Amino acid sequence: MARCWLAILLGVLGCSWALAAPTAPTEPQEIRLASEVWQGHTHADGSGLAWDILRQVFEPEGIELVIQSVPYTRSIGLVQRGEADAWVGSYRNEVDEGVFYPRWHYDADQISALGLVDQPVPRQATLGEFRLVWMRGYEYQRYLPNLKHYREIQRRGGILSMLDHGHADFYIDAQTEVDEVLDGAADRARYRVTRLIRLPMYLGFADNPRGRALAQVFDRRMAQLVEQGGLRPLFEHWQQPYPFE
163 pLDDT exceeds 50?
yes
pLDDT cut 90: percent of the chain above it: 80
Segment 52-79 mean pLDDT: 97
Q: What is the pLDDT of residue 155?
A: 86
Q: What is the pLDDT of residue 205?
A: 98
Q: What is the pLDDT of residue 78?
A: 98
Segment 221-239 mean pLDDT: 97
- Stated pTM of the model: 0.81
Q: Give the tens place of pLDDT for each residue, 144-154.
A: 988 999 999 98
Q: What is the pLDDT of residue 160?
A: 95
12 pLDDT exceeds 60?
no
Measuring CA to CA, how many Å separate 79 from each of 203, 211, 216, 230?
A: 11, 9, 17, 28
Domains plus CATH for the chain? 30-108+199-237 (3.40.190.10), 109-197 (3.40.190.10)
Q: Give the tens place of pLDDT for each residue, 106-120.
A: 999 999 999 999 999
Q: Give the tens place of pLDDT for each residue, 30-42.
A: 999 999 999 999 9
201 pLDDT exceeds 70?
yes
Q: What is the pLDDT of residue 196?
A: 95
Q: HSE-up of 81 (CA within 13 Å, CB side)? A: 8
59 pLDDT exceeds 60?
yes
76 pLDDT exceeds 60?
yes
